Amino acid sequence: MGAGLLERLVSNRISTSTPASRAVSAFSSGFGANTSGNFQGLANNAYMRNATVNAGLELLATSAAEPKIVGMRRKRAKGQIRAQTALWRAQGVQNKAGAMVLDAMLAKAGYTEDLPDHPLVKLLNNPNPFISGDEMWGSVVVDRWLAGNAFILKARTDLGNASELWRLRPDRVEIIPDRTEFIAGYRYKVGNETFTFPRRDVMHFKTRNPLDPYYGMPLLMPILDWLDIDNDMRVFLKTFFRNGGSGPGSILTLKTGLSAEEKEEIRERKRRVFGGPGGAHEMLILDNTETTYTQLGLDRGLRDALPKEVWAMVSAAISMCLNIPGSILGQLIGYESSSYANKRADWQVLWDVNLTPLMGGLGNTINKAMLDPEDPEFGGIDEVSFDISSIRALQEDEDALQERARKNVGAGIWSFEEGRLATGMDPAPTEGTFFIPSNLVPTPIERLGAEAEAEQPVSQPLDSSMAIAAAFQEAFRDPPKVGRPPLLSDPGARATYDKAMALRAKNPSWSWLQVADALHISERQLRRYRGEFEG
C-alpha cells in the first residue's frame, strides 16, 4: 500500500480521483483484533456450516433489505402530527396498510414533505458504486447476529463530504474509549497495519450487552451449546452411514490380568481414539494379549442414531433464538401446522415481533449518526426510515379488508368517508359517479336520529263508503311529525357555525379540518354550513 493512500485512510480523506473502493480494498484480507467475541467461530461453524442458522440469517437479511429508506421533513410540530394521525386512525385506518395512506394524507395536508431526492436518502439507498443498499443493510443484520456489532464507515472526499458508505468487518474494529467523550474514535486493524477513524465517521449498530458498555453481544451466543449438539449430530449421522449403520463403538475383553496403571492406560487410549463424534465408530486394538471383540449396535437403527425428540429440541432452540417461526424455516416442528392461513399468520408474527422493531432500531441509529444536531452535515431533512408500508406480510388481506369495509358501511357503523379511508382512497372525493344500493338511504350526519317525514297519501277516486272510512281515519290520525327545519332556519346549525368561526379567529393557524374535529363534526358538514351561512 502506498504511503499516500495510507495517509488518506488514516485521516479518512479519500481523494475525489481515488474511489473509496480502492481504499477499503486494503481491508479485504488479514485479521486484526478480535473485539467481537466469537465472530469468526460463529461465522465458520454456524453461518457457513449449519443449514438452519444460514437459512434463518439469510431470511432476516433479505427481508430487512427489502424496504427502501425514505426521507421526511416535518412542516408542523411533532405534537400536531401525532394528534392528526391519531384522529385519522380513530376514523377507520386501523389496518397496517393504512400507514402508507396516513403518510400520503399527512403530506397532502401539509404536515410533512417527502424527500425522495435528498442526498442522504440517495446515499443510504446506494452506499457506493459496488454495493447496493439491500446488500449493505443485509450485511448489517448478519453482523449483529454473528458479532453483536456492525460498523459502517463514512468515506469522505477531499472536501470533507461523506460520499460513500462501506462495511467494516466487526472483528477488526477496536473502539477507543474516552473518559469525557465516552468514545474517542475507532481503530481498524488489518495484519500489521492500523487505521484510525474519528467517531463521527463510523456508524455503530450494536446489540445489548449487560457486561460491556462498548461492544454488543452476538445474538447467537445463547445457543452455542445447541449448535454444537446440532453439528455433532450431523457428524455422527454422516459417520453412521459411512460405517453401514453400525453401532457407536465396540467392547474389548481381556483374559489376562491388568494392573491399575495398565487399565488406566487403556481407558486413556480409548478416550483419545473415541473422543468426539469423529471417533464414534473406531476400534481399539491391543497386541501381545488374548482378547475378544464385540461390536455395539443400535437396536432401532436410525431412530437411535438421530432421535427425533432431540432434533426437535435443537430446531426449536434455534428458531427461538432467531425469533423465526419454524414453518418459515421449513423445520419439522413447523410442518405440523403448515396450512396457508397458519403460514401467513407466521409471516405477520415475524414482521410484528422481529423485523419491524429491528428496522426501527436500525433507522434510529442511522438518524443519530447521520443527522446529529452537533454535526449538521445533511440539512433540510428531519428523519429517515425504512418504508415498511408496502411489505406484503404487514398488509391485511385485500379481500378481507374490502369485505369488512362493505359490511361496516352497509350496517351504518362506518360512514361513507370512513369506508373509503379504510380501503386506501380519498375519503372526500369531489367528482365521480357512485352506485348506491336501493336498500341504502344516504343520510348526512346532521340528519341522523331525525324522524322521517310522513309519506303523502296517493289521491284516488273514493266511493261514499271509502270516503267515510278515510274521514274517520283522518280524524284519529296523529299529526305528522316534522323533521329538522331548513339549514338557514336551524338555530343549532347556526350556533355550530358561529362556534366554528370563533375557533378559527382564535386559532388562525388551524385548518378547517382541525376546527371541525374540535366541534365533533365532519369537515364536509362544516363546509356545508359555511356555504349556506356565508352565502
Same domain? 157 vs 23: yes
30 part of a folded domain = yes
Instruction: Specify the long-range contacts of residues 294-299, CB closer than 8 Å, at least 24 apart.
Output: 294/250, 294/251, 294/253, 295/246, 295/247, 295/250, 296/247, 296/248, 296/249, 296/250, 296/251, 297/246, 297/247, 298/245, 298/247, 298/248
For residue 264, what are the domain limits?
249-296
- Between residues 101 and 410, the one the model is more confident about: 410
388 part of a folded domain = no
Residue 532 has pLDDT above 60, yes or no: yes
Cβ atoms within 10 Å, residue 451:
10
Most confidently predicted of 82-91, 99-108, 474-483: 82-91
Looking at residues 410-423, what average pLDDT do you find?
Answer: 78
496 part of a folded domain = yes
By percentage, how much of the chain surpasses pLDDT 70? 68
Query: Which of 264, 296, 328 is where one domain is finished?
Result: 296
Q: Which amino acid is at 173?
A: V
Same domain? 213 vs 65: yes
- Alpha-carbon distance of 329 to 59, in angstroms, equals 9
Residue 80 has pLDDT above 60, yes or no: yes
Query: Which of 281, 296, 311 is where one domain is finished?
Result: 296
Same domain? 270 vs 215: no
**CA-based torsion, 25, 31, 33, 39: positive or negative:** positive
pLDDT attached to residue 413: 78
Looking at residues 474-502, what average pLDDT do you find?
Answer: 68
pLDDT in tens, 120-129: 999 999 999 9
Strand arrangement, sheet containing 182-190: 173-178, 182-190, 193-198
Per-residue exposure over 251-264, b if at least 16 CB sit within 10 Å of its own CB, e if not: eeeeeeeeeeeeee
Looking at residues 234-255, what average pLDDT do you find?
Answer: 67
Residue 177 has pLDDT above 70, yes or no: yes
Same domain? 183 vs 260: no
pLDDT attached to residue 527: 81
Residue 248 has pLDDT above 50, yes or no: yes
CB 326 within 8 A of CB 333: yes
Looking at residues 132-144, what average pLDDT do you find?
Answer: 92
Residue 465 has pLDDT above 60, yes or no: no
CB 18 within 8 A of CB 8: yes
pLDDT attached to residue 66: 86
Looking at residues 177-185, what average pLDDT do you find?
Answer: 90
pLDDT attached to residue 27: 38
Worst-scoring range by mean pLDDT, 137-141, 224-228, 238-242? 238-242
Same domain? 14 vs 84: yes
Same domain? 270 vs 184: no
pLDDT attached to residue 170: 92
Same domain? 53 vs 179: yes
- Between residues 150 and 74, the one the model is more confident about: 150
Report the predicted TM-score, pTM, of the whole model to 2 decimal places. 0.62
34 part of a folded domain = yes
Q: Which three cell numbers stand for residue 15?
A: 481523494
Residues ≥6 apart with Cβ < 8 Å to 241 = none
Same domain? 128 vs 271: no
pLDDT in tens, 297-307: 555 455 655 66
Worst-scoring range by mean pLDDT, 28-32, 248-252, 360-364, 500-504? 28-32
Same domain? 102 vs 61: yes
- Between residues 315 and 445, the one the model is more confident about: 315
- Between residues 409 and 88, the one the model is more confident about: 409
Query: Which of 296, 330, 355 is where one domain is finished?
Result: 296
Q: Which amino acid is at 93?
A: V
CB 133 within 8 A of CB 65: yes
pLDDT attached to residue 61: 92
How high does pLDDT run on average in the chain?
75
Looking at residues 453-461, what average pLDDT do you find?
Answer: 57
Worst-scoring range by mean pLDDT, 12-16, 112-116, 231-235, 383-387? 12-16
Quick one: pLDDT band at residue 18, thresholds 50, 70, 90? very low
Same domain? 62 vs 166: yes
Quick one: pLDDT band at residue 394, thresholds 50, 70, 90? low
pLDDT attached to residue 197: 93
CB 347 within 8 A of CB 324: no
53 part of a folded domain = yes
Looking at residues 292-321, what average pLDDT do you find?
Answer: 69
Same domain? 263 vs 185: no
| Number of domains composing the chain | 3
Same domain? 106 vs 151: yes
Q: Give the SS3 label for residue 433.
A: coil
pLDDT in tens, 22-70: 334 443 333 333 334 478 888 888 888 888 888 889 999 998 888 889 8
